[in-house]
Chains A and B, each alone.
Chain A
C-alpha cells in the first residue's frame, strides 16, 4: 500500500499507509491526524482539508480543478504547494508522498 507522510504544524510526523483510490484527506481522518478537519467529507465544499504538498511532489500530483483552485485562493496562509487533500487520490505512483499540514483550517 502506498505510504503518505503527514507533517503537522508542530513538527509531528505520521507515516501511514493509504490505500490506492483513497484520498490523502481520508488517510489523515482514518488515522486521527489532527490537522485535517474535513467537514464536508471530501466533496470539495469546505476547504478544511487544506495541506501543503512537499516541493518534491508538487508536479507529480494531478492538477487541481477550477473549483479547488478558487477555494485554495481563500484559505488561511496559501502557499505554492497548497491543495485540498480530499482532491488528491492515492495511486502507487504517489507512494512516499509528503504533505505538511497548516496550523489551522479556519
Chain B
C-alpha cells in the first residue's frame, strides 16, 4: 500500500465535482484539515478543494500514535481517517509532503517551499501544533525523541526492546500513555516530571495521585521535581543528567513537554495571533476569506468566558465543520463543550469540560484504591469539568450537567450508591 502523494490527484471523479473555477486551499492535512475538506463539500462548496500537508500521509488519527500504533497493534493503514478513494469520490485533492511557505493575502495566493504559487478564493489554516523542543546539551543525540507524528513513532520503535531503559520527560497525558505502552512492551520505564506531581496543569492532586499509584503498580517509576540538564552518550544517548548531579542510564528518551501552535505563516501574513491564530465564533480569522481550525487556533469559549486554545480531536473536528460552513457563507456558532480521552493500561480516562480555576472537587469513588472513580470540578457552585476513570456514565452525564449548567446535589453526587441516572432525574 502506498500513501505518499506528490502532485495532485486529477481523476475524472475529482473533476466531476468541480462546477465553478473557485478554489479553496487548506493548509495542513490532519484531523482539522481533512474534516474541513469533507465538510466544505457537505456545505455545498462547488469549486476546487486542495489540501496541502507537509506530512506524506492522508489525514490520520493521531491519538493511537501513543497508544495502539506505538505498541505495533495498529498499522499505518489502520490510522487513516478515510481511505484515498473516498476523497476522490467527492473531489478532494491532496498535495502531500509539501509545505506552504508564504501566504499573500492581497494577491490571494500561497507559495510552496519549492516555489510553486497557487491562487485561492478561500483559505483555511489547519496547521496544528509542533512539539516544544528541549534544547539541552546532548539533545541531538540519537535516541532523544519526541512523539507527534508517524515518523516520530517509527524512530522510537527503532530503540525499543525488552529490558531497554526508557526515560520519559514530562508527566502529561502523552508522556503517561507512552510510558504505559513502553512498559507493556517490556521496557524499564521512568518518568521525569519537573513539577511536584504528574498531570499538574490539568488535574486535581487526588487524580495525579491516582495515576501515580497505578503507574507504580504497573512497574513504571515516576520521579517528580526532577530538572533534566542534559543527555550524555557517544553516538546515541546513554544517560540523562539531572540538576542535582544524578545521572540516569537510558537507551531511549521520549520528551513530552507540550506543543506550540504553528502560527508563523499566519503571523507573517498579518493575521491576528495571540497564543494561536485568533478566530471568531464562526472560526473565521480577521480576514473573512480565511478560516482556521484545530490546535493552531485561539478563540473565545463562551461557556468558560475566556480565550482558550485546545489540543483535542473534538475541537479540531468541530471547529473544522463550523469553519467550512462559514467559508460557504453559512454562519454557525462554535460552542461545543471541550472533551478529551486518554487510555493507559486498563484505564479509560474521559474528561469533559475544563477544570482550570476550580475551587472545589467532589470525588465519587475512592481514587486511593481500585481503578474506577470520578472527580467533578466546581467553580462558584457550578460544575465545570469531570475526570472519569473507567466510569463512562459519569463522563456522559457529567458532560450534560456541565453544558446545560444544571445544579447538582454534591452529597448525592459523591455517593456511588446513588446512580448517576437518578441524580439526573431528580434535577
For window 36-84 of A, CB contacts with B under 8 Å fall at 37, 39-41, 43-47, 67, 70-71, 73-75
Residues 14-27 of A, flagged 1 when their CB comes within 8 A of B and 0 if not, give: 00000000000000
B341 to A, closest residue via Cβ: A45
Asked if A12 is an interface residue, CB under 8 A from chain B, the answer is no
- A83: min CB distance to chain B, Å: 14
Inter-chain contacts of B67 with A (CB < 8 A):
43
Query: Chain B residues with Cβ under 8 A from A75's Cβ?
Result: 396
Q: In the bound complex, do residue B82 and residue A71 qualify as a contact, i.e. CB atoms below 8 Å apart?
A: no
Say yes or no: is B6 at the interface (Cβ < 8 Å to chain A).
no
Residue B146 is within 8 A (CB to CB) of chain A in the complex: no
In which size bucket is the chain B interface? Answer: 20 to 34
Shortest distance in angstroms between B341's beta carbon and chain A's nearest beta carbon?
A: 4
B20 within 8 Å of A by Cβ? no
Whether B396 lies near A32 (C-beta < 8 A) is no
With A39-B317, A74-B397: A31-B86 Cβ-Cβ less than 8 Å: yes
How far is it, in angstroms, between the C-alpha of A51 and the C-alpha of B393 when the chains are bound? 18
Structural contact, B86 and A32, CB atoms closer than 8 A:
yes
Q: In the complex where A46-B341, A67-B348 touch, is A41 in contact with B83 (Cβ < 8 A)?
A: no
Which residues of B have CB within 8 Å of A70?
A: 391-393
Interface size counted on chain A using CB atoms at 8 A: 20
**Cα separation A62 to B80 with both chains bound (whole Å):** 25
User: A34 to B38, alpha carbons, bound, how many Å?
Assistant: 11
Contact A43 B392 (CB under 8 A): no
Is there a chain A Cβ closer than 8 Å to B160's Cβ? Answer: no
User: When the two chains form their complex, are residues B42 and A73 in contact, meaning their CB atoms are under 8 A apart?
Assistant: no
Known A-B contacts A39-B314, A71-B392, A74-B392; the reply to A32 vs B341 at CB < 8 A is: no
- Chain A residues positioned under 8 Å from B348 (CB to CB): 44-45, 67
Given contacts A67-B392, A74-B396, contact A30 B341 (CB under 8 A): no
Question: B36 on the interface (CB 8 Å rule)?
Answer: no
Chain A hits for B82, CB < 8 A: 29-30
B61 within 8 A of A: yes
User: Which A residues contact B (CB, under 8 angstroms)?
Assistant: 29-32, 34, 37, 39-41, 43-47, 67, 70-71, 73-75
24 A–B contact pairs at CB < 8 A?
A29-B82, A30-B82, A34-B42, A37-B317, A39-B313, A39-B317, A39-B339, A40-B63, A41-B61, A41-B63, A41-B81, A43-B63, A43-B64, A43-B343, A44-B348, A46-B314, A46-B339, A67-B390, A71-B392, A71-B393, A71-B396, A73-B421, A74-B420, A74-B421
